[in-house]
Amino acid sequence: MSFEPFQIGSVPVGGPVPFFILGPCALESEAFAWEMARSIDEIAKRTGIHYLFKASYDKANRTSVKSFRGPGVEEGCRILGEIGKELGVPVTTDIHSPQDAEIAAEHIDLLQIPAFLCRQTDLLEAAAKTGRAVNVKKGQFLAPWDTVNIAEKLRAFECRNFVLTERGTTFGYNNLVADMRSLYWMRKEGLPVVFDATHSVQRPGGLGGTTGGDGELAPVLARAAIATGVDGIFLETHSDPENAFSDGPNQIPLEFLEDLLVRLVAIHHAAHGA
């Protein structure tokens, strides 16, 4: 079964060109979120891409209990909603419970289901019933074809506007591997597919009390995914990754984002003629 192209706000999904999900890992502060959002929006306008702005209001799956989490669902979604309205772009964030889904849906255009929660039926149902588009991160423990079952759940809950995101598969201890074959297999099942380049280079718990990663490889995997053929690319970016409150080793420095986006668009045109 193939999916019908749809819109998330102003962003086309399943059209001739891929869309992008861009933003920092965490809502470190309201001022920081606005600074990042305005900078990314300027880059998006210069490069002519379609994008959603993202940031997390609660990093609920941190390695250490001492790690920063965020402002919480109500405050975080308010900030994101105001950013989206002022800049005229759709926004996205991850939710963690059915209650979160109901609150977030008032402000958020695309509700994201975290990878570790991708099989939680109640959470999928709650997200679907908001009427918002849904992005489900593929669990690190799933095979590509297992995402068909997630899609069937969403369709059963009358959600037609959804995407599935590949973000790497567990590969031994404290490591992930991104298999580009999975992008082909998921799309072959008629599923809209996004590739998460920055989380795919994580080394979960690799620094003991925090997550490490190979951030320099994120652009490499993004280029490969575009050439393979995907509907969207997910990239976390930060103005100062070394001092980021969360996932610093994997975020792309903001100063390099524009050049990367230009390259990705060029690769898409060369590989797919669109």
Give pLDDT, residue 232: 98
CA 143 to mean position of chain CA atoms: 19
Q: Are strands 193-196 and 232-238 parallel, antiparallel or unpaired?
A: parallel
Give pLDDT, residue 166: 98
pTM to 2 decimal places: 0.95
Give pLDDT, residue 65: 81
Give pLDDT, residue 207: 61
Give pLDDT, residue 62: 65
> What residues contact 86, with CB distance under 8 A and at least 6 apart?
none
Give the pLDDT of the chain (274 residues) as one tens digit per residue.
578 999 999 999 999 999 999 999 999 999 999 999 999 999 999 999 999 999 999 988 767 787 888 999 999 999 999 999 999 999 999 999 999 999 999 999 999 999 999 999 999 999 999 999 999 999 999 999 999 999 999 999 999 999 999 999 999 888 999 999 999 999 999 999 999 999 999 887 656 556 667 889 999 999 999 999 999 999 999 999 999 998 888 999 999 999 999 999 999 999 998 7
3-class SS string, the chain: CCCCCEEECCEEECCCCCEEEEECCECCCHHHHHHHHHHHHHHHHHHCCCEEEECECCCCCCCCCCCCCCCCHHHHHHHHHHHHHHHCCCEEEECCCHHHHHHHCCCCCEEEECHHHCCCHHHHHHHHHCCCEEEEECCCCCCHHHHHHHHHHHHHCCCCCEEEEECCEECCCCCEECCHHHHHHHHHCCCCEEEECCHHHEECCCCCCCCEECHHHHHHHHHHHHHHCCCEEEEEEECCHHHCCCCHHHCEEHHHHHHHHHHHHHHHHHHHCC
Give pLDDT, residue 247: 84
- Cα 12 to Cα 121: distance, rounded to the nearest angstrom: 27
Phi-psi region of 205 (alpha: psi -120 to 50; beta: other; left: phi over 0): left
CATH 3.20.20.70 fits 6-272, yes or no: yes
Of residues 227, 183, 268, 89, the one with CA closest to residue 80? 89
Give pLDDT, residue 104: 98
Give pLDDT, residue 1: 52
Give pLDDT, residue 26: 95
- Cα 141 to Cα 210: distance, rounded to the nearest angstrom: 20
Give pLDDT, residue 31: 98
